[in-house]
Amino acid sequence: MKVYLRSITFAGTLAGALLTAGPVSAGDEPGLCCLDPIPGAERSASAPSAARSSHDSVVLTFEGLESTEPVEDYYNGGTGGDGSGPGPDLGITFSPNGLALISQEAGGTGDFANNPAGDAILFFLTGTETVMNVPDGFETGFSFYYSAANEGGFIRVYDELGGQGNLLAELDLPVTPPTEDTPYTWDNWVDVGVTFDGVARSVDFGGTADQIGFDNVTLGSEQAGGGDPGTGAPPPAQPVPVGGGFWILLMSLLVLVAAPVVLRR
């Protein structure tokens, strides 16, 4: 199993206080949900709620759902808990406590910004985890962005439904303190991923209720967004044209050869 942690930002004195204060109960800190909507704020046009990369990975962005709406069957060709949809038929379902959340900036109630895809994320308000089930399974890797301003969390990948069976991969998710660059608490999003052997059929997203959010959830790749430019992965390097490089080299050689002749004159 390989684990990928690509970036994490620790900013200001608040970060030090959170990292040394010990466990904090959900009632001691403000939650990811729910701010009052900003008057006049409107949600922008929804981006595709799921996409396949060229490597057949699947990326879930939770667009198309309403704020605090249960995801449920939205990614199984059905609807979310409040009737949004139908969504893409990907054979993916979520346990009832798995909710979408829209940023306050986009007319929702979420205390977050800087998430990598659209206006919506995944989170939960009850329990200590929410479960994603994929009966047809997926292989190779799993990745996502997450933000955990006050308390960390974890993910666990299993080879059976409902968070059962063999544990294929596990990641502890440390606190991601606010950047202090925005007025929102959950504004520091970290890209993590893992590879594994076998076929995964469920993932537990765990932590303290209302304290951790997820976005760009990617099945089949250790790179969140599936490795496609514009979805969280760095763009591929652009090759230098062979012809241009050849002529530059040739001109440099001609200058070097001609220089002694000029000097002798």
Give residue 11's Cα distance to chain centre.
20
For residue 230, pLDDT over 70 is answered with no
What is the rounded average pLDDT of the residues 81-96? 97
Write down the pTM of the prediction: 0.75
Q: How many domains does the chain have?
A: 1
Task: State the residue range of the domain holding 28.
Answer: 2-264
State which amino acid sits at residue 74: Y
Residue 234: predicted pLDDT: 36
CATH number of the domain enclosing 74: 2.60.120.260
At 22-60, the pLDDT tens digits run 333 344 678 998 787 777 666 654 544 554 443 578 999
Beta bridge partners of 33: 110
pLDDT tens digits for 117-142?
899 999 999 999 999 999 999 999 99
* Residue 166 falls in which region: left (phi positive, over 0), alpha (psi -120 to 50) or beta: beta
Average pLDDT on 66-73 reads 97
* pLDDT score for 157: 98
pLDDT at 43: 62
Of 222 and 36, the one with more pLDDT: 222
Beta-strand ranges (E) seen in the chain are 2-5, 50-52, 58-60, 93-94, 98-102, 120-124, 129-138, 141-147, 153-160, 164-173, 190-195, 200-207, 213-219
CB 42 within 8 A of CB 107: yes
Q: What is the mean pLDDT of residues 212-217?
A: 98
How far is residue 121's CA from residue 210's CA, in Å, rounded to a whole number?
12
What is the predicted pLDDT for the residue at 40? 65
Q: Averaged over 241-263, what is the pLDDT?
A: 44
Query: Using 50, 70 and 90 to split pLDDT, how confident is the model at 231?
Result: very low
Average pLDDT over residues 219-228: 83
Cross-strand partners of 197? none
Instruction: Share the mean pLDDT of the chain.
Output: 79
Give the pLDDT confidence score for residue 49 in this predicted structure. 55
Would the pLDDT of 11 be above 80? Answer: no
Q: What's the confidence (pLDDT) of residue 208?
A: 97
**Per-residue pLDDT at 34:** 79
Spatial separation of the C-alpha atoms in residues 231 and 214, rounded to whole Å:
14
Pair of tokens at residue 160:
């059976």
Query: Which residues pair with residue 120 across a beta bridge?
Result: 102
**The most confident of 190-194, 226-230, 254-258, 260-264, by mean pLDDT:** 190-194
- Residues 147-166 have pLDDT tens digits of 999 999 999 999 999 999 99
pLDDT of residue 3: 56
- Tell me which residue of 204, 57, 68 sits closest to 133, measured CA to CA: 204
Among 98-107, 119-128, 147-156, 241-250, the least confident range: 241-250
Q: Is 249 in a helix, a strand, or coil? A: helix
